[in-house]
Amino acid sequence: MSDSYFPVGPGLGMEENFLSLDDILMSQEKLPGRAESALPRLAVLLGQGAGSAESVPEGSKLEIPLWLAKGLHDSKRRIISVELPKIYKEAWRTVFSADANVVDLHKMGPYYYGFGSQLLNFENPENPEIAQTILQAMTLVCFLQTFIARFRRIMDSSQNAYNEDTSALVARLDELERALFQVGQKGLNDFQCWEKGQASQITASSLVQNYGKRKLAEVDG
Amino acid sequence: MEPAEVEFLAEKELVTIVPNFSLDRIHLIGGDLGPFNPGLPVEVPVWLAINLKQRQKCRLVPPEWMDVGKLEEIRDQERKEDTFTPMPSPYYMELTKLLLNYASDNIPRADEIRTLVKDTWDTRMAKLRLSADSFVRQQEAHAKLDNLTLMEINTTGTFLTQALDHMYKLRANLQPGESSHSQDF
Protein backbone atom coordinates (compact mmCIF):
# COMPACT_ATOMS: atom_id res chain seq x y z
CA MET A 1 0.00 0.00 0.00
CA SER A 2 2.54 2.56 1.15
CA ASP A 3 4.70 1.84 -1.90
CA SER A 4 2.31 3.45 -4.30
CA TYR A 5 1.23 6.30 -2.03
CA PHE A 6 3.32 9.42 -2.34
CA PRO A 7 2.10 12.16 -0.01
CA VAL A 8 3.41 15.70 -0.45
CA GLY A 9 6.14 16.27 2.10
CA PRO A 10 6.76 19.34 4.22
CA GLY A 11 8.58 22.25 2.60
CA LEU A 12 10.95 23.07 5.46
CA GLY A 13 12.05 26.43 4.13
CA MET A 14 10.81 29.96 3.85
CA GLU A 15 7.88 28.68 1.79
CA GLU A 16 5.58 25.78 2.67
CA ASN A 17 4.46 23.18 0.19
CA PHE A 18 0.95 24.20 -0.79
CA LEU A 19 -0.51 20.68 -0.76
CA SER A 20 1.45 19.26 2.15
CA LEU A 21 -0.87 18.17 4.96
CA ASP A 22 1.99 18.45 7.42
CA ASP A 23 2.58 22.05 6.44
CA ILE A 24 -1.11 22.91 6.73
CA LEU A 25 -1.18 21.47 10.24
CA MET A 26 2.03 23.28 11.07
CA SER A 27 0.72 26.66 9.90
CA GLN A 28 -2.25 26.36 12.27
CA GLU A 29 -0.01 26.78 15.29
CA LYS A 30 -0.64 30.01 17.18
CA LEU A 31 1.80 32.86 17.24
CA PRO A 32 1.84 35.70 19.79
CA GLY A 33 1.32 39.09 18.21
CA ARG A 34 0.00 42.58 18.66
CA ALA A 35 -2.41 44.62 16.59
CA GLU A 36 -0.65 47.69 15.25
CA SER A 37 -3.84 49.26 13.96
CA ALA A 38 -7.50 48.86 14.87
CA LEU A 39 -9.19 45.89 13.18
CA PRO A 40 -12.89 46.70 12.71
CA ARG A 41 -15.56 44.01 13.22
CA LEU A 42 -13.07 41.28 14.08
CA ALA A 43 -13.41 41.29 17.87
CA VAL A 44 -15.66 38.22 17.90
CA LEU A 45 -13.30 36.10 15.88
CA LEU A 46 -10.18 37.09 17.75
CA GLY A 47 -11.86 36.63 21.13
CA GLN A 48 -11.73 40.24 22.24
CA GLY A 49 -15.39 41.13 22.56
CA ALA A 50 -18.97 39.96 22.14
CA GLY A 51 -20.70 42.19 19.59
CA SER A 52 -20.16 41.62 15.91
CA ALA A 53 -19.63 45.34 15.31
CA GLU A 54 -16.85 45.75 17.86
CA SER A 55 -13.35 46.30 16.59
CA VAL A 56 -10.07 45.07 17.94
CA PRO A 57 -8.36 48.13 19.43
CA GLU A 58 -4.87 49.09 18.40
CA GLY A 59 -2.14 47.56 20.51
CA SER A 60 -4.14 44.62 21.86
CA LYS A 61 -2.46 41.29 22.33
CA LEU A 62 -3.46 38.55 19.91
CA GLU A 63 -2.89 34.85 19.42
CA ILE A 64 -3.05 34.33 15.69
CA PRO A 65 -2.37 31.26 13.58
CA LEU A 66 0.78 31.37 11.51
CA TRP A 67 -1.04 31.40 8.17
CA LEU A 68 -3.02 34.49 9.16
CA ALA A 69 -0.02 36.25 10.61
CA LYS A 70 1.90 35.58 7.42
CA GLY A 71 -0.96 37.00 5.35
CA LEU A 72 -1.31 40.14 7.43
CA HIS A 73 2.34 40.81 7.96
CA ASP A 74 3.82 43.50 5.80
CA SER A 75 7.01 45.44 6.40
CA LYS A 76 5.48 48.66 5.08
CA ARG A 77 1.86 48.70 6.21
CA ARG A 78 1.93 47.77 9.82
CA ILE A 79 -1.26 45.82 10.55
CA ILE A 80 0.14 43.43 13.11
CA SER A 81 3.49 42.83 14.67
CA VAL A 82 4.68 39.35 15.57
CA GLU A 83 6.68 38.25 18.55
CA LEU A 84 8.86 35.19 18.75
CA PRO A 85 7.34 32.28 20.65
CA LYS A 86 9.38 31.66 23.75
CA ILE A 87 10.87 28.36 22.57
CA TYR A 88 12.68 30.25 19.80
CA LYS A 89 13.91 32.99 22.13
CA GLU A 90 17.33 33.56 23.56
CA ALA A 91 16.71 31.61 26.78
CA TRP A 92 15.71 28.41 25.02
CA ARG A 93 18.40 28.83 22.41
CA THR A 94 20.93 28.71 25.22
CA VAL A 95 19.40 25.49 26.47
CA PHE A 96 19.69 24.07 22.96
CA SER A 97 23.31 24.94 22.61
CA ALA A 98 24.00 23.28 25.94
CA ASP A 99 22.51 19.93 24.92
CA ALA A 100 19.80 19.49 22.33
CA ASN A 101 19.41 15.84 23.21
CA VAL A 102 17.56 16.47 26.44
CA VAL A 103 14.90 18.72 24.93
CA ASP A 104 11.46 17.25 24.34
CA LEU A 105 10.80 18.65 20.89
CA HIS A 106 7.40 17.06 20.62
CA LYS A 107 6.12 18.88 23.64
CA MET A 108 7.60 22.15 22.47
CA GLY A 109 5.58 22.05 19.30
CA PRO A 110 5.34 19.00 17.15
CA TYR A 111 6.60 21.00 14.17
CA TYR A 112 9.65 22.61 15.70
CA TYR A 113 11.77 22.80 12.54
CA GLY A 114 9.06 23.73 10.07
CA PHE A 115 7.54 26.38 12.31
CA GLY A 116 10.94 27.86 13.10
CA SER A 117 11.82 28.08 9.44
CA GLN A 118 8.53 29.84 8.75
CA LEU A 119 9.29 32.38 11.47
CA LEU A 120 12.13 33.67 9.35
CA ASN A 121 9.48 35.25 7.12
CA PHE A 122 8.88 37.92 9.72
CA GLU A 123 11.86 40.22 9.60
CA ASN A 124 13.36 39.87 12.99
CA PRO A 125 16.78 41.02 14.13
CA GLU A 126 17.38 37.60 15.69
CA ASN A 127 16.75 35.66 12.46
CA PRO A 128 20.29 34.40 11.81
CA GLU A 129 20.56 33.13 15.38
CA ILE A 130 17.26 31.27 15.09
CA ALA A 131 18.29 29.60 11.85
CA GLN A 132 21.59 28.64 13.42
CA THR A 133 19.89 27.13 16.45
CA ILE A 134 17.46 25.11 14.38
CA LEU A 135 20.29 23.76 12.28
CA GLN A 136 22.25 22.96 15.39
CA ALA A 137 19.29 21.12 16.85
CA MET A 138 19.01 19.15 13.63
CA THR A 139 22.68 18.25 13.70
CA LEU A 140 22.49 17.09 17.27
CA VAL A 141 19.32 15.20 16.59
CA CYS A 142 21.00 13.42 13.70
CA PHE A 143 23.54 12.37 16.22
CA LEU A 144 20.68 11.27 18.42
CA GLN A 145 19.32 9.25 15.53
CA THR A 146 22.59 7.48 15.03
CA PHE A 147 22.74 6.88 18.72
CA ILE A 148 19.26 5.41 18.66
CA ALA A 149 20.08 3.28 15.66
CA ARG A 150 23.23 2.05 17.31
CA PHE A 151 21.49 1.42 20.60
CA ARG A 152 18.75 -0.48 18.86
CA ARG A 153 21.16 -2.49 16.86
CA ILE A 154 23.02 -3.61 19.94
CA MET A 155 19.70 -4.50 21.48
CA ASP A 156 18.56 -6.27 18.32
CA SER A 157 21.59 -8.45 17.94
CA SER A 158 21.58 -9.36 21.61
CA GLN A 159 17.88 -9.99 22.01
CA ASN A 160 16.84 -10.56 18.43
CA ALA A 161 13.58 -8.70 18.89
CA TYR A 162 13.43 -5.71 16.58
CA ASN A 163 9.67 -5.61 16.24
CA GLU A 164 9.23 -4.04 19.63
CA ASP A 165 7.66 -0.84 20.79
CA THR A 166 9.66 2.30 20.11
CA SER A 167 7.09 4.71 21.51
CA ALA A 168 9.28 5.78 24.43
CA LEU A 169 12.03 6.82 22.04
CA VAL A 170 9.72 8.40 19.52
CA ALA A 171 7.68 10.35 22.08
CA ARG A 172 10.27 13.13 22.32
CA LEU A 173 10.85 13.61 18.60
CA ASP A 174 9.13 16.24 16.52
CA GLU A 175 7.21 15.26 13.38
CA LEU A 176 10.13 15.72 11.01
CA GLU A 177 12.39 13.58 13.15
CA ARG A 178 9.71 10.94 13.49
CA ALA A 179 9.52 10.59 9.74
CA LEU A 180 13.29 10.32 9.66
CA PHE A 181 13.30 7.77 12.46
CA GLN A 182 10.74 5.71 10.58
CA VAL A 183 12.89 5.71 7.46
CA GLY A 184 15.91 4.55 9.43
CA GLN A 185 13.91 1.81 11.08
CA LYS A 186 12.53 0.66 7.76
CA GLY A 187 15.98 0.24 6.27
CA LEU A 188 17.12 -1.79 9.24
CA ASN A 189 13.96 -3.90 9.42
CA ASP A 190 13.96 -4.61 5.70
CA PHE A 191 17.52 -5.83 5.91
CA GLN A 192 16.81 -8.02 8.90
CA CYS A 193 13.73 -9.49 7.25
CA TRP A 194 15.82 -10.31 4.21
CA GLU A 195 18.52 -11.86 6.35
CA LYS A 196 16.01 -14.15 8.00
CA GLY A 197 14.51 -15.10 4.66
CA GLN A 198 11.15 -13.53 5.35
CA ALA A 199 11.40 -11.24 2.37
CA SER A 200 11.06 -14.12 -0.07
CA GLN A 201 7.90 -15.46 1.52
CA ILE A 202 4.65 -14.30 0.06
CA THR A 203 2.29 -13.07 2.77
CA ALA A 204 -1.25 -11.77 2.68
CA SER A 205 -1.58 -8.02 2.49
CA SER A 206 -2.31 -6.35 5.81
CA LEU A 207 -5.50 -5.01 4.27
CA VAL A 208 -6.76 -8.51 3.60
CA GLN A 209 -5.74 -9.70 7.03
CA ASN A 210 -7.78 -6.97 8.68
CA TYR A 211 -10.75 -7.89 6.59
CA GLY A 212 -12.86 -10.42 8.50
CA LYS A 213 -13.45 -13.82 6.98
CA ARG A 214 -17.18 -13.34 7.13
CA LYS A 215 -16.98 -10.06 5.25
CA LEU A 216 -14.78 -11.68 2.64
CA ALA A 217 -17.40 -14.39 2.10
CA GLU A 218 -20.03 -11.70 1.61
CA VAL A 219 -17.90 -10.04 -1.02
CA ASP A 220 -17.40 -13.35 -2.81
CA GLY A 221 -21.09 -14.24 -2.68
CA MET B 1 15.42 -0.23 -3.21
CA GLU B 2 14.69 -3.32 -1.19
CA PRO B 3 17.20 -5.90 0.00
CA ALA B 4 15.56 -8.44 -2.27
CA GLU B 5 16.38 -6.25 -5.26
CA VAL B 6 19.99 -6.00 -4.16
CA GLU B 7 19.98 -9.77 -3.89
CA PHE B 8 18.59 -9.91 -7.42
CA LEU B 9 21.64 -8.00 -8.65
CA ALA B 10 23.94 -10.21 -6.59
CA GLU B 11 22.58 -13.30 -8.30
CA LYS B 12 24.35 -12.19 -11.49
CA GLU B 13 27.74 -12.95 -9.90
CA LEU B 14 29.53 -15.99 -11.24
CA VAL B 15 30.29 -19.10 -9.18
CA THR B 16 31.83 -22.42 -10.09
CA ILE B 17 29.75 -25.58 -10.00
CA VAL B 18 30.46 -29.22 -10.74
CA PRO B 19 27.44 -30.56 -12.66
CA ASN B 20 26.40 -34.21 -12.75
CA PHE B 21 24.68 -34.05 -16.12
CA SER B 22 25.76 -33.18 -19.62
CA LEU B 23 24.35 -30.38 -21.70
CA ASP B 24 25.55 -28.49 -24.77
CA ARG B 25 26.47 -24.85 -24.66
CA ILE B 26 23.35 -22.76 -23.95
CA HIS B 27 22.87 -19.29 -25.43
CA LEU B 28 21.27 -16.86 -23.02
CA ILE B 29 20.64 -13.13 -23.51
CA GLY B 30 23.33 -12.17 -21.01
CA GLY B 31 25.97 -14.49 -22.46
CA ASP B 32 26.66 -18.14 -23.30
CA LEU B 33 26.99 -20.81 -20.61
CA GLY B 34 28.46 -24.26 -20.65
CA PRO B 35 29.02 -26.77 -22.07
CA PHE B 36 28.15 -28.83 -19.01
CA ASN B 37 29.97 -32.12 -18.49
CA PRO B 38 29.63 -34.40 -15.45
CA GLY B 39 32.47 -33.85 -13.00
CA LEU B 40 33.98 -30.87 -14.81
CA PRO B 41 33.82 -27.44 -13.11
CA VAL B 42 32.02 -24.67 -15.01
CA GLU B 43 31.20 -21.03 -14.19
CA VAL B 44 27.54 -20.04 -14.00
CA PRO B 45 25.56 -17.19 -12.43
CA VAL B 46 24.42 -17.68 -8.85
CA TRP B 47 20.74 -17.89 -9.76
CA LEU B 48 21.39 -20.85 -12.04
CA ALA B 49 23.74 -22.48 -9.56
CA ILE B 50 21.08 -22.36 -6.85
CA ASN B 51 18.41 -23.65 -9.16
CA LEU B 52 20.57 -26.58 -10.30
CA LYS B 53 21.56 -27.25 -6.70
CA GLN B 54 17.91 -27.41 -5.63
CA ARG B 55 17.26 -29.88 -8.43
CA GLN B 56 20.28 -31.88 -7.20
CA LYS B 57 22.03 -31.56 -10.52
CA CYS B 58 25.29 -30.09 -9.33
CA ARG B 59 27.75 -29.63 -6.48
CA LEU B 60 28.79 -26.11 -5.61
CA VAL B 61 32.41 -25.01 -5.31
CA PRO B 62 32.65 -22.24 -2.70
CA PRO B 63 34.31 -19.00 -3.89
CA GLU B 64 37.96 -18.65 -3.06
CA TRP B 65 37.37 -16.02 -0.38
CA MET B 66 34.75 -18.06 1.45
CA ASP B 67 37.31 -19.60 3.70
CA VAL B 68 37.68 -19.33 7.47
CA GLY B 69 41.33 -18.23 7.38
CA LYS B 70 40.81 -15.53 4.77
CA LEU B 71 37.67 -14.20 6.39
CA GLU B 72 39.40 -13.97 9.77
CA GLU B 73 42.12 -11.92 8.12
CA ILE B 74 39.53 -9.64 6.50
CA ARG B 75 37.70 -9.19 9.79
CA ASP B 76 40.87 -8.28 11.68
CA GLN B 77 41.91 -5.90 8.93
CA GLU B 78 38.48 -4.27 9.03
CA ARG B 79 38.74 -3.75 12.78
CA LYS B 80 42.21 -2.27 12.51
CA GLU B 81 41.56 0.34 9.81
CA ASP B 82 39.57 3.53 10.29
CA THR B 83 38.25 3.59 6.74
CA PHE B 84 36.45 0.81 4.92
CA THR B 85 38.67 -1.95 3.56
CA PRO B 86 38.03 -3.58 0.18
CA MET B 87 35.75 -6.58 0.42
CA PRO B 88 36.48 -9.86 -1.38
CA SER B 89 33.28 -9.52 -3.37
CA PRO B 90 30.95 -6.55 -3.96
CA TYR B 91 28.14 -8.81 -2.81
CA TYR B 92 29.82 -10.68 0.03
CA MET B 93 26.78 -10.51 2.31
CA GLU B 94 24.29 -11.67 -0.31
CA LEU B 95 26.52 -14.46 -1.62
CA THR B 96 27.20 -15.71 1.90
CA LYS B 97 23.52 -15.80 2.65
CA LEU B 98 22.50 -17.44 -0.61
CA LEU B 99 25.27 -20.02 -0.74
CA LEU B 100 25.00 -20.94 2.92
CA ASN B 101 21.24 -21.24 2.77
CA TYR B 102 21.10 -23.43 -0.30
CA ALA B 103 24.44 -25.22 -0.42
CA SER B 104 25.80 -25.34 3.12
CA ASP B 105 26.61 -29.05 2.63
CA ASN B 106 29.19 -28.07 -0.04
CA ILE B 107 30.87 -25.40 2.07
CA PRO B 108 33.30 -26.50 4.76
CA ARG B 109 32.82 -24.93 8.23
CA ALA B 110 29.67 -23.11 7.14
CA ASP B 111 28.70 -21.94 10.61
CA GLU B 112 32.05 -20.31 11.25
CA ILE B 113 31.87 -18.53 7.91
CA ARG B 114 28.43 -17.24 8.73
CA THR B 115 29.66 -15.84 12.06
CA LEU B 116 32.74 -14.26 10.52
CA VAL B 117 30.83 -12.54 7.75
CA LYS B 118 28.26 -11.30 10.24
CA ASP B 119 31.07 -9.94 12.43
CA THR B 120 32.58 -8.12 9.48
CA TRP B 121 29.19 -6.72 8.56
CA ASP B 122 28.58 -5.48 12.11
CA THR B 123 32.00 -3.85 12.26
CA ARG B 124 31.41 -2.08 8.97
CA MET B 125 27.93 -0.91 9.90
CA ALA B 126 29.17 0.47 13.21
CA LYS B 127 31.92 2.25 11.29
CA LEU B 128 29.39 3.60 8.82
CA ARG B 129 27.28 5.07 11.63
CA LEU B 130 30.33 6.58 13.24
CA SER B 131 31.45 8.25 10.03
CA ALA B 132 27.92 9.40 9.19
CA ASP B 133 27.77 10.94 12.65
CA SER B 134 30.99 12.89 12.26
CA PHE B 135 29.98 13.82 8.72
CA VAL B 136 26.77 15.40 10.00
CA ARG B 137 28.45 17.11 12.94
CA GLN B 138 31.05 18.80 10.81
CA GLN B 139 28.32 19.78 8.35
CA GLU B 140 30.20 18.46 5.36
CA ALA B 141 28.64 18.51 1.92
CA HIS B 142 30.33 15.53 0.30
CA ALA B 143 32.06 12.30 1.26
CA LYS B 144 33.90 9.49 -0.45
CA LEU B 145 32.94 5.94 0.45
CA ASP B 146 34.92 3.74 -1.89
CA ASN B 147 34.68 0.26 -0.51
CA LEU B 148 31.12 0.17 0.72
CA THR B 149 28.99 -2.51 -0.88
CA LEU B 150 25.53 -1.95 -2.31
CA MET B 151 23.76 -3.77 0.51
CA GLU B 152 25.46 -1.59 3.11
CA ILE B 153 24.65 1.60 1.24
CA ASN B 154 21.10 0.46 0.73
CA THR B 155 20.44 -0.27 4.41
CA THR B 156 21.18 3.24 5.66
CA GLY B 157 21.03 5.14 2.38
CA THR B 158 17.49 6.49 2.53
CA PHE B 159 17.86 7.58 6.11
CA LEU B 160 21.13 9.34 5.48
CA THR B 161 20.10 11.12 2.29
CA GLN B 162 16.83 12.26 3.82
CA ALA B 163 18.58 13.59 6.92
CA LEU B 164 21.10 15.44 4.76
CA ASP B 165 18.30 16.81 2.61
CA HIS B 166 16.61 18.30 5.68
CA MET B 167 19.92 19.72 6.86
CA TYR B 168 20.55 21.29 3.47
CA LYS B 169 17.19 23.05 3.52
CA LEU B 170 17.72 24.26 7.08
CA ARG B 171 21.14 25.56 6.17
CA ALA B 172 19.73 27.35 3.14
CA ASN B 173 17.59 29.31 5.61
CA LEU B 174 20.77 30.80 7.03
CA GLN B 175 21.46 32.73 3.86
CA PRO B 176 18.92 35.55 3.51
CA GLY B 177 16.82 34.27 0.63
CA GLU B 178 16.52 35.78 -2.81
CA SER B 179 13.58 33.59 -3.79
CA SER B 180 11.64 34.22 -0.61
CA HIS B 181 9.93 37.36 -1.86
CA SER B 182 8.45 35.84 -4.97
CA GLN B 183 4.93 36.34 -3.64
CA ASP B 184 5.37 39.91 -2.48
CA PHE B 185 2.56 42.09 -3.78
pLDDT of residue B185: 44
**Are the C-beta atoms of residues B7 and B94 closer than 8 Å to each other?**
yes
Neighbouring-strand partners of residue B32:
B27
Residue A4 CB contacts under 8 Å (≥ 6 apart), including other chains: none
Give pTM, 2 decimals: 0.80
Residue B182 is assigned to a structural domain of this protein = no
pLDDT digits (tens, 9 = 90+) for B64-81: 999 999 999 999 999 999
pLDDT of residue A164: 55
Higher pLDDT, B112 or B184: B112
ipTM: 0.86
Residue B183 is assigned to a structural domain of this protein = no
Shortest CA gap B158–chain A (Å): 7
Whether A1-83 shares its CATH topology with A85-220 is answered yes
Domain ranges of chain A: 1-83, 85-220
Distance CA B58, CA B33 (A): 15
pLDDT at A1 over 70: no
pLDDT at B183 over 50: no
- By percentage, how much of chain A surpasses pLDDT 90? 5
Which of B151, B169, B173 is the best mutation test for A, with the most CBs of A within 10 A?
Answer: B173
3-class state of residue A30 by DSSP: strand
pLDDT of residue A157: 46
Nearest chain B residue to A115 by CA distance is: B170
Nearest chain B residue to A188 by CA distance is: B155
pLDDT at A156 over 60: no
Tell me the residues of B at the A interface, defined by beta carbons under 8 Å apart.
2-4, 7, 97, 101, 122, 125-126, 129, 132-133, 136-137, 139, 151, 154-159, 162-163, 166-167, 169-174, 176-177, 179-180, 182-183
Distance CA B76, CA B79 (A): 5
Q: A12–B170: do the CB atoms touch at under 8 Å? A: yes
CATH number of the CATH domain containing B115: 1.20.58.1020
Burial of A213 (0-12, 13-18, 19+ CB in 10 A): exposed
Distance CA A85, CA A66 (A): 11
Identify the weakest region by mean pLDDT among A187-201, B46-60, B134-148, B168-182: B168-182
Nearest chain A residue to B151 by CA distance is: A191
Average pLDDT over residues B124-138: 82
pLDDT at A97 over 80: no
pLDDT at A201 over 90: no
Residue B181 is assigned to a structural domain of this protein = no
pLDDT of residue B137: 75
Residue B156 is assigned to a structural domain of this protein = yes
User: Average pLDDT, whole number, for chain B?
Assistant: 88
Q: Please measure the distance between the N-terminal and C-terminal CA atoms of chain B and give it in whole angstroms.
A: 44
Q: A128–B174: do the CB atoms touch at under 8 Å? A: yes
pLDDT at B161 over 60: yes
The per-residue DSSP string of A62-77 comes to EEEEHHHHHHH--SSS
pLDDT at B113 over 70: yes
Q: Say if residue A57 is preceded by a cis peptide, omega within 30 of 0.
A: no
Averaging pLDDT over each range in A4-18, A108-122, B107-121, which range is the top one? B107-121
Phi and psi at residue B103, in whole multiples of 5°? -140, 35
pLDDT at A160 over 50: no
Count the alpha carbons within 13 Å of A76 in the hemisphere toward its beta carbon.
Answer: 2
Identify the weakest region by mean pLDDT among A122-126, A153-157, B146-150: A153-157
Q: Which residues of B touch A117 (CB under 8 A)?
A: 169-170, 173
Tell me the residues of A at the B interface, defined by beta carbons under 8 Å apart.
12-15, 113, 117, 120-121, 127-128, 131-132, 134-135, 138-139, 142-143, 145-146, 149-150, 153, 157, 176, 179-180, 183-184, 186-188, 190-191, 193-195, 197, 199-200
User: Cα separations (Å) of A144 from A103, A174, A180?
Assistant: 11, 13, 11
Distance CA A85, CA A118 (A): 12
**Are the C-beta atoms of residues A26 and A16 closer than 8 Å to each other?**
yes
Averaging pLDDT over each range in A181-185, B51-55, B156-160, which range is the top one? B51-55
Residue B180 is assigned to a structural domain of this protein = no
State the Rg of chain A over Cα: 23
In terms of DSSP bridges, do strands B31-33 and A80-82 run parallel, antiparallel, or are they unpaired? unpaired
**Are the C-beta atoms of residues A21 and B177 closer than 8 Å to each other?**
no
pLDDT of residue A104: 79
Count the alpha carbons within 13 Å of B2 in the hemisphere toward its beta carbon.
Answer: 12
Question: Letter for the amino acid at A21?
Answer: L
- If you count them, how many residues does chain B have? 185
**Are the C-beta atoms of residues A113 and B166 closer than 8 Å to each other?**
yes
The count of structural domains within chain B is: 1
Q: B2–A194: do the CB atoms touch at under 8 Å? A: yes
Owning domain of residue B74 = 3-173
**Are the C-beta atoms of residues B22 and B3 closer than 8 Å to each other?**
no
- By percentage, how much of chain B surpasses pLDDT 70? 94
Residue B124 is assigned to a structural domain of this protein = yes
pLDDT digits (tens, 9 = 90+) for B22-60: 999 999 998 899 899 999 999 999 999 999 999 999 999
pLDDT of residue A209: 67
Closest CA to A28 of A83, A65, A62, A64: A65
Give how far the C-alpha of residue B34 lies from the chain's centroid of Cα atoms, to the nearest Å: 26
Q: Which CATH number fits domain A85-220: 3.40.50.720, 1.20.58.2050, 1.25.10.10, 3.30.110.30?
A: 1.20.58.2050
pLDDT of residue B180: 45
Average pLDDT over residues A86-97: 80
Identify the weakest region by mean pLDDT among A160-169, B63-72, B84-93, B141-150: A160-169
Residue B74 is assigned to a structural domain of this protein = yes
Q: B155–A187: do the CB atoms touch at under 8 Å? A: yes
Identify the weakest region by mean pLDDT among A51-55, A71-75, B145-149: A51-55
Distance CA B112, CA A69 (A): 65
In terms of DSSP bridges, do strands A61-65 and A80-82 run parallel, antiparallel, or are they unpaired? unpaired
Chain A / chain B CB contacts < 8 angstroms: 101
Distance CA B117, CA B151 (A): 13
CATH topology assigned to domain A1-83: Methane Monooxygenase Hydroxylase; Chain G, domain 1 (1.20.58)
**Are the C-beta atoms of residues A85 and A106 closer than 8 Å to each other?**
no
